[in-house]
Structure 1
């Protein structure tokens, strides 16, 4: 398990991020139209998983905006923003912000993503939500970069994630 902090107070996640060089675990997450998205749906593309607790917090919203701006400049790359927010809230946020270059996905129906990627909080006030992390996956489905953000209110290292592409 990983230990991260929320404003300096330590909390634990269910596990650790996938190891660099390993195959990315498959997932089934809910899209805005309530259909399912799997890792296989993005086969052949470079993938940035932008994982966070809720788009309704300042840092999560900012990471979505930042990756949206960067995604428009990337070839053969998709940014998946993943949280436990309802797809309706995710769509509302992107609509209000005019964000069109990220794919919002919800862990609405199945908690396997958080467990398989090691990002579900198991203790603290955010228990059950996803911790802030970034995972980069290449076109072959191999993990090339991971970052478990140590302090939940901090933004991820965007440049390091983009460099891993």
Structure 2
């Protein structure tokens, strides 16, 4: 289990992120149109998983804006913004912000993504939500880079994620 902080208060996650060089766990998530999305929908493309607690927080919203801007410059790469927010909230945010270069997906139905990727909170005020993480996956499903942000209020290292794609 990983130890991170929320406003300086220690909180724990259910496990640890997949290790670099391992195969990314399978996922089944829900799109903003309520369609089901899985790893199979992104075969032969690179993935940047921008994972966060809720689009309704400032840092989470900023990570979507930042990756939306950067994603337009990436070849053969999909940026997936993943939380347990309802798809309606994610669609509303992206529509209001003009977000068009990333895809929002939700783990609200089962929570299996958070469990399988080892990043769901098990303690604290955000218990069961997803911790702020970045996972970069190559075209063959191999994990190239991971980051679990140690303080939930902090932004991820965008450049390190992008550099993993070079």
Place the TM-score, normalised by the shorter chain, in its bin: over 0.9
Structure 1 match to 2:132: 132
Return the alpha-carbon distance in structure 2 between the equivalents of residues 36 and 110 of structure 1: 12
Please state how far the C-alpha of 1:35 moved relative to its aligned partner. Answer: 1.1
Structure 2 match to 1:121: 121
Correspondence list, 1:64-83, <5 A: 64-83=64-83
Question: Where has structure 1 moved over 2 Å in runs of 4 or more?
Answer: none
Structure 2 match to 1:26: 26
Please state how far the C-alpha of 1:118 moved relative to its aligned partner. Answer: 0.7
Contiguous gaps of at least 5 residues in structure 1: none
Contiguous gaps of at least 5 residues in structure 2: none
Per the normalisation by structure 2, the TM-score is 0.99
What is the root-mean-square deviation in Å for CA atoms of aligned residues?
0.5
CA contact (8 A) 1:137 1:145 kept: yes
Structure 2 match to 1:154: 154
Please state how far the C-alpha of 1:24 moved relative to its aligned partner. Answer: 0.3
Q: 3-state DSSP class of the match of 2:100?
A: coil
Please state how far the C-alpha of 1:141 moved relative to its aligned partner. Answer: 0.3
Per the normalisation by structure 1, the TM-score is 0.99
CA contact (8 A) 1:28 1:110 kept: no
Aligned length: 165
Return the alpha-carbon distance in structure 1 between the equivalents of residues 156 and 40 of structure 2: 25
Q: 3-state DSSP class of the match of 1:136?
A: strand
